Amino acid sequence: MMIVLSGAIGAGKSSLATVLSEHLGTEAFYEQVDNNPVLPLFYKDPKKYAFLLQIYFLNKRFESIKKAMVQDNNVLDRSIYEDSLFFHMNADMGRATPQEVKVYDELLANMMQELPYAAAKKAPDLLVHLDISYDTMIHRIEKRGRSYEQPEQDPTLPEYYHNLLSRYDGWYDDYDYSPKMKIDGDKYDFVENPEDRQKVLDLIDEQLRVRGTLD
């Protein structure tokens, strides 16, 4: 099976990808963040590096989803299906030119048209979206300690984070590539609480069984 995760920065996608892959006996595919050479540049000068960052992520996500579809036994902590949300948010914030938006949209469309031919599998078996509040988001961002993500380092980040969270409901409603489900990341602290972690795994197992993906 192939499961893709989605959610804002700090939602716990990498943590859940690890737990879920171990639980199901599958491979985890992680978004490249800590070794991303463009991300720190973006946080220092978003307007200059937004387009470059998104092209970098888009390329990595396309590479990952192709591998995942071929192997068909994995969990992705973020996927290409979520990519456009980030770039168009930055474009709406004045961090990309109309020409950059046009180039990005055409490139993404070409990639999405090519994707079904990359492997026998055409789409994920399940999208698991992690829904969190701003307070939970900031708590996890502070805990993992990446300096460039901290609001006290950049007074524009709270607006950026609130903007990002506000877009996910519409994105989730529009997502139609596969079956989908939401996990309340405020209610279930699957990162630190073992009981909550098991509840989340049970919820996902239930959805997989309903769809005949899990015995």
- Residue 7, marked binder: yes
- Residue 27, marked binder: no
What is the distance between the alpha carbons of residues 109 and 100, in angstroms, rounded to a whole number?
A: 14
- Residue 145, marked binder: no
- Residue 99, marked binder: no
- Residue 25, marked binder: no
- Residue 83, marked binder: yes
- Residue 114, marked binder: no
Q: Who's near 180: CB < 8 A, 6+ residues apart?
A: 126, 127, 128, 129, 172
- Residue 170, marked binder: no
DSSP letters of the chain?
-EEEEEESTTS-HHHHHHHHHHHHT-EEE----TT-SSHHHHHH-HHHHHHHHHHHHHHHHHHHHHHHHHH--EEESS-GGGHHHHHHHHHHTT-S-HHHHHHHHHHHHHHHHHGGGSSS--S-SEEEEEE--HHHHHHHHHHHT-GGG-GGG-TTHHHHHHHHHHHHHHHHHH--SS-EEEEETTT--TTT-HHHHHHHHHHHHHHHHHTTS--
- Residue 61, marked binder: no
Q: Is 77 in the active site?
A: yes
- Residue 22, marked binder: no
Catalytic residue among 45, 77, 125, 174: 77
- Residue 80, marked binder: no
Q: Which residues are catalytic?
A: 77
Tell me the binding residues. Answer: 7-15, 31, 43, 54, 78, 83, 140-144, 149
Binding residues for substrate: 31, 43, 54, 78, 83, 149
Specify binding-site residues for ATP.
Answer: 7-15, 140-144
